[in-house]
Amino acid sequence: MPIPTDDKNNQSTDLLEVANDLDSGEINELAVVAEGEEKTTWFVWTLVLCATVSGLLFGYDTGVISGALVTIGSDLGPEQLSSGQKEFITSATTLGALLGGFVAGAMSDWTGRRPVLAISDIIFIGGAIAQAVCHDVWSMIGGRFLLGIGVGLASCIAPLYIQELSPTRLRGRMVVMNVVAITLGQVIAYGIGAGFEKMHGGWRWMVGLGAVPAGIQLVFLLFLPESPRIMLLRGDLPAAQKIMTKIYAHAKPADVELKVKVLQAAVKRSIEITHSTTFMHRFTSMLVNPVYRRALIVGCGLQAFQQLCGFNTLMYYSATLFASIGFNQPTAVGLIVSGTNFIFTIIALICIDRIGRRRIMLFSSPGMIFGLTLASISFHYLTINTGGNLIEGSDYPNSWSAIVLLSMIIFVASYATGLGNVPWQQGELFALESKPFSRTGLVMVLTKLAPSPWSRHVSRDCD
């Protein structure tokens, strides 16, 4: 039950009860609801929009490689890229993201959320430039690996930063804004890819332009506040109160005070646990404590299923795939798929808080199953005359190629509505002291390792 905050005479009693309840683990800060919490302000929107540039970068840099792979040609060597080289180029980002995601949580607790986002921007800029000027495959792989580190840092910390700077009742919707930005980045990547597809060396512009939004966000970060959690970890209560007052601008001062007290008690408890236990003990508690373990299983499971469904591989190789089945402008066709992802992510943004995380997953999963089943049937009949392999230049029936595209649209629409959004909100499942482990340990390992087997199959089938 939300804690009432209207009765000023009971305010001190409420504060004491909240602190005691937090110490005993009976409630968390989500149980304290301030007046006007469902409303937002320009301040919150500015913070969220600036932070979601990290999501846009993530989406752009995962989407742009799809168009680049079909236009690089022999620019990186005497021959066309082989399937193995394509695998290394795409997998380098995955490996870099694994490394970045693994260190992101601990780094952000030490330096703050904002500095980590700034570091990721610098890495994004370096990776984009390295790709744009490279002249051999290994330099391209190095640039993609560097870019992956930035992806790992940003994909971990941006949702956390948004959660901690959003009103409680709007957190789900605000975190989905980051996912919207990811899908928008993919749309922009495919649009730019389609524009540069026929230009000699146009792929260099595709990958190099990723430095622009990173530079813009880096400038804006100079003016953004730090998370109130980090301020309290540093013992800066006045700064935390100032930020919380702006976040809950429509709330009464007593409501904001109660919110700060709740957060302060949670941070204090986290510090006490950190000082009284070892790293291994805290990590082990994630597996031993039934509450943490259940949250870890749910969080890791959602992230793993998100990757095992093969969506990221579709983003990496969609242009290659559509070129193989006979589309003349494969990057432009890929824009249809990324546009579907963007539109249905916005639909999820509107509906997720009203429908609920679990229900939206249940409603959207059958659509994913149907889309993938239809795609499997389509590919079976499409490749009967080519031994089950896609061979670029072969004459495939237009009807089956169109059904493949339709199946991809159905799959992506269902994915964007549920599985593409809900796992990004796994921070809601964990207590403050367990977030570094939950977000940057097993969850990120599963997130970044899962795509690799599908990438190998798709790249070889399309070769």
The two most distant CA atoms of the chain are separated, in Å, by 81
Long-range contacts at 303-308 (CB < 8 A, ≥ 24 apart): 303/423, 303/426, 303/443, 303/444, 303/446, 303/447, 304/446, 304/447, 304/450, 305/419, 305/423, 306/419, 306/420, 306/423, 306/447, 307/446, 307/447, 307/448, 307/449, 307/450, 307/451, 308/450
The proportion of the chain whose per-residue pLDDT surpasses 90, expressed as a percent, equals 29
Give per-residue pLDDT as tens, 67-93: 888 888 888 877 888 888 888 898 898
DSSP conformation letters of 410-438? HHHHHHHHTTTTGGGGGGGGS-GGGHHHH
Confidence of residue 436 (pLDDT cuts 50, 70, 90): low
- Residue 122 predicted with pLDDT over 90: yes
- Residue 203 predicted with pLDDT over 70: yes
Q: Is residue 125 part of a domain?
A: yes
DSSP conformation letters of 108-139? HHHH-HHHHHHHHHHHHHHHHHHHHH--SHHH
Which residue is it, tokens 């990186």? 76
Q: Round to whole Å and give the CA distance between 148 and 152.
A: 6
Confidence of residue 426 (pLDDT cuts 50, 70, 90): low
Confidence of residue 448 (pLDDT cuts 50, 70, 90): very low
Confidence of residue 30 (pLDDT cuts 50, 70, 90): low
Q: Residue 281: give its domain's CATH number.
A: 1.20.1250.20
Phi, psi of 242 (to 5 degrees): -65, -45
Q: Is residue 92 part of a domain?
A: yes
Q: What's the Cα-to-Cα distance from 338 to each of 206, 235, 331, rounded to whole Å?
A: 16, 44, 10
Cβ-based neighbours of 184, under 8 Å, separated by 6 or more: 56, 59, 342
pLDDT of 428 reads 61
**140-164: average pLDDT:** 91
CB 104 within 8 A of CB 439: yes
Mean pLDDT, the chain, integer? 81
- Residue 339 predicted with pLDDT over 70: yes
DSSP 3-state assignment of 192? helix
**283-306: average pLDDT:** 77
CB 48 within 8 A of CB 172: no
Conformational region of residue 33, where left means phi above 0, alpha means psi within -120 to 50, and beta covers everything else = beta
Give per-residue pLDDT as tens, 208-254: 999 999 999 999 999 999 999 899 888 889 998 999 888 888 888 88
Q: Round to whole Å and give the CA distance between 279 and 201.
A: 49
CB 140 within 8 A of CB 127: no
DSSP state for residue 34 in the 8-state scheme: -
Q: Is residue 83 part of a domain?
A: yes
Q: Round to whole Å and give the CA distance between 247 and 269.
A: 23
Confidence of residue 389 (pLDDT cuts 50, 70, 90): confident
Q: Is residue 232 part of a domain?
A: no
**112-116: average pLDDT:** 93
**364-375: average pLDDT:** 94
- Cα atoms in the 13 Å half-sphere on the side-chain side of 332: 9
**143-164: average pLDDT:** 91
pLDDT of 288 reads 75
pLDDT of 406 reads 95
DSSP state for residue 252 in the 8-state scheme: -
Answering whether pTM is above 0.95, one says: no
Residue 220 tokens read as 């804006």
pLDDT of 1 reads 42
Q: Is residue 78 part of a domain?
A: yes
Q: Kindly report which listed range (12-16, 41-45, 186-190) carries the lowest average pLDDT score.
A: 12-16
Give per-residue pLDDT as tens, 94-104: 889 888 988 88
Q: Is residue 262 part of a domain?
A: no
- Residue 21 predicted with pLDDT over 90: no
Which residue is it, tokens 């989905």? 176
Residue 263 tokens read as 């957060």
- Residue 292 predicted with pLDDT over 70: yes
pLDDT of 432 reads 53
- Residue 403 predicted with pLDDT over 50: yes
The alpha carbon dihedral of 214, 123, 219, 58 has a sign of positive
Of 293, 297, 275, nearest to 285 (Cα)?
A: 293
- Residue 48 predicted with pLDDT over 60: yes
Q: Is residue 450 part of a domain?
A: yes
- Helix (DSSP H) and strand (DSSP E) numbers for the chain: 21, 0
Q: Which amino acid is located at 148 in the chain?
A: G
**275-292: average pLDDT:** 73
> Does an H or E element contain 174, and which?
helix 171-196
Instruction: Note down the domain range covering 312.
Output: 35-224+277-461
> CB atoms < 10 A from the CB of 132, how many?
18
Q: Is residue 244 part of a domain?
A: no
Query: Is the model more confident about 164 or about 428?
Result: 164
- Residue 453 predicted with pLDDT over 70: no
Of 152, 135, 132, 312, nearest to 207 (Cα)?
A: 132
pLDDT of 221 reads 94
Q: Which amino acid is located at 306 in the chain?
A: Q
pLDDT of 12 reads 44
How many domains does the chain divide into?
Answer: 1
**307-319: average pLDDT:** 82
**Range of 3-12, 47-56, 385-394 with top mean pLDDT:** 47-56
